[in-house]
């Protein structure tokens, strides 16, 4: 089935940039309105008009600069903070009584936006640097520190450092998430390859070993070599296979990028599970199905059929040459259940755990792993002397469930 890649970008940082963009525009409007309604107290209003004109042009022209970490360069941050500091220091020039009246500066709270850009871009250390410069500029503009000035300076300083620290924590969390996704992707691929190898190469090697030992002579030597290769391959499958990382981190954006393989929508037609299970039926394998199409999404149908095949392979290998098996397919509105039962000797208690410890992970990977990957479950019941039963359950996709809404038990 054709597949395509979809890139999912996850970043808690991006909403902060969007919020900063809105903040800069709103505080620019606020600064202009504040000056317009209190312009009569300015001895040199033209200074204020000139600065606010520059502030408006600068804010609107640099909106793309605060749209993300890539565009927000160090050069822009320096220029942006310079505009804010210039506005603060020009306030006494526009208003001769600014140092005696504890009023707003020309840029007003727009200045905090310049400091917050430092916090989001560089973390709490950059925020501390920018807010300290703003504090010094405010103290110079006031001439002598007042309670309100110290309060405002401390508020900007604490808030910016706190936001910078939160950004750093978020970035560290994203790096941890990226690593976890990378490990998950590699593990799933290793298990998928292990299932494929188990269902083909390992079974052939095991058969060669058994037949060679039984024939003796030169065939016994070939069997011994096949057994050694089987053990080596099982060891490799259990702990060494992985594929190139599907997860990477975009350092410039501070975002986690995950590449996800997904089915091509054009190849998503439901598959009748019966057509995949029919070739499994034979003289020693009986198949009982509902008599109506059992429709499942292609990936689920294929994995479920492969799990049934793995269960039948185990019957052929471990239940004896005279053992018989039966496949029962149940089509329910919310799930599909396939049961594979045999009349063999059953599995001795503790044998599965021992097999997994030896690297023989047929049940764990070929059956349980396949069902887990499609959201299903696999339950194995075995009583010594009474055979083995494997029950495979696959939940229906919402679309398929609606199509079967009228299907009763």
pLDDT in tens, 30-81: 999 988 887 677 788 888 899 999 999 999 999 999 888 888 899 999 999 9
Give Cα 407 to chain centroid, integer Å: 36
Considering only CA atoms, which of 379, 389, 363, 393 is closest in space to residue 300?
A: 393
CB burial of 222-242 (b: ≥16 within 10 Å; e: otherwise) equals bbeebbeebbebbeebbeebe
d(CA 191, CA 392) in angstroms, rounded, equals 19
pTM for the full predicted model: 0.49
Q: Which ranges in 74-146 belong to alpha helices (H)?
A: 74-94, 110-122, 124-142
346: left (phi over 0), alpha (psi -120 to 50) or beta: left
| First-last CA distance in the chain | 32
Per the listing, tokens 């300015």 go with: 42
User: From its phi and psi, is residue 320 left (phi > 0), alpha (psi between -120 and 50) or beta?
Assistant: left
User: Which of 51, 53, 131 shows the shortest CA–CA distance to 95?
Assistant: 51
Q: What is the pLDDT of residue 344?
A: 86
Length of the chain: 409
**Regions of the chain with pLDDT less than 70:** 1-12, 39, 96-102, 144-146, 148-149, 190-203, 230-268, 350-366, 397-409
Cross-strand bridge partners of residue 389: 341, 381
From the list 323, 328, 318, the residue with the least C-alpha distance to 286 is 328
Q: State the pLDDT at residue 60.
A: 94
Calpha distance 303→395 (Å, rounded): 13
Helix 45-61 and helix 74-94: axis angle, to 10°? Answer: 160
The Cα–Cα gap between 53 and 42 comes to: 16
Distance from C-alpha of 65 to C-alpha of 80, rounded to nearest angstrom: 10
What is the distance between the alpha carbons of residues 15 and 6, in angstroms, rounded to a whole number? 22
* Phi–psi pair at 381, nearest 5 degrees: -125, 125
With beta carbons less than 8 A apart as the criterion, state whether 268 and 298 touch.
yes
Closest by CA to 27, choosing from 61, 52, 2, is: 52
How high is the pLDDT of residue 234? Answer: 61
């Amino acid at each position: 089935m054709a597949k395509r890649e979809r890139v999912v970008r996850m970043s808690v940082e991006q909403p902060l940039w969007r919020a900063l963009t809105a903040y800069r525009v709103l505080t620019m409007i606020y600064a202009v309105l504040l000056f317009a309604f209190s312009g009569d107290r300015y001895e040199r209003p033209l200074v204020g008009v000139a600065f606010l004109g520059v502030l408006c042009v600068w804010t609107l022209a640099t909106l793309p600069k605060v749209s993300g970490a890539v565009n927000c360069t160090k050069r822009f941050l320096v220029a942006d903070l310079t505009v804010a500091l210039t506005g603060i220091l020009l306030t006494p020039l526009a208003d001769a009584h600014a140092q005696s009246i504890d009023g707003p500066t020309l840029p007003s709270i727009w200045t905090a936006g310049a400091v917050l850009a430092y916090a989001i871009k560089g973390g709490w250390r950059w925020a501390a640097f920018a807010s300290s410069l703003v504090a010094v500029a405010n103290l110079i503009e006031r001439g002598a520190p007042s309670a309100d000035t110290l309060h405002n300076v401390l508020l900007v300083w604490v808030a910016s450092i706190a936001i910078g620290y939160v950004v750093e924590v978020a970035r560290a969390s994203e790096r941890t998430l990226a690593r976890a996704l990378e490990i998950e992707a590699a593990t799933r691929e290793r298990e998928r390859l292990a299932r494929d190898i188990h269902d083909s190469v390992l079974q052939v090697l095991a058969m060669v070993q058994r037949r060679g030992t039984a024939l003796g002579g030169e065939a016994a030597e070939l069997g011994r070599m096949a057994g050694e290769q089987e053990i080596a391959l099982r060891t490799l499958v259990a702990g060494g296979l992985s594929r190139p990382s599907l997860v990477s981190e975009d350092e410039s954006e501070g975002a986690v990028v995950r590449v996800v393989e997904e089915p091509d929508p054009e190849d998503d037609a439901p598959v009748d599970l019966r057509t995949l299970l029919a070739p499994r039926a034979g003289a020693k394998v009986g198949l009982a199905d509902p008599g109506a199409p059992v429709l499942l999404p292609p990936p689920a149908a294929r994995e479920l059929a492969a799990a049934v095949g793995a269960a039948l392979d185990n019957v052929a290998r471990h239940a004896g040459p005279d053992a018989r098996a039966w496949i029962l397919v149940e089509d329910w509105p919310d799930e599909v259940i396939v049961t594979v039962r045999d009349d063999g000797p059953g599995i001795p208690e503790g044998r599965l755990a021992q097999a997994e410890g030896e690297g023989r992970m047929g049940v764990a990977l070929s059956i349980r792993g396949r069902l887990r990957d499609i959201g299903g479950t696999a339950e194995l019941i075995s009583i010594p002397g009474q055979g083995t039963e494997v029950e495979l359950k696959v939940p229906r996709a919402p679309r398929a469930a609606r199509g079967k809404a009228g299907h009763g038990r």
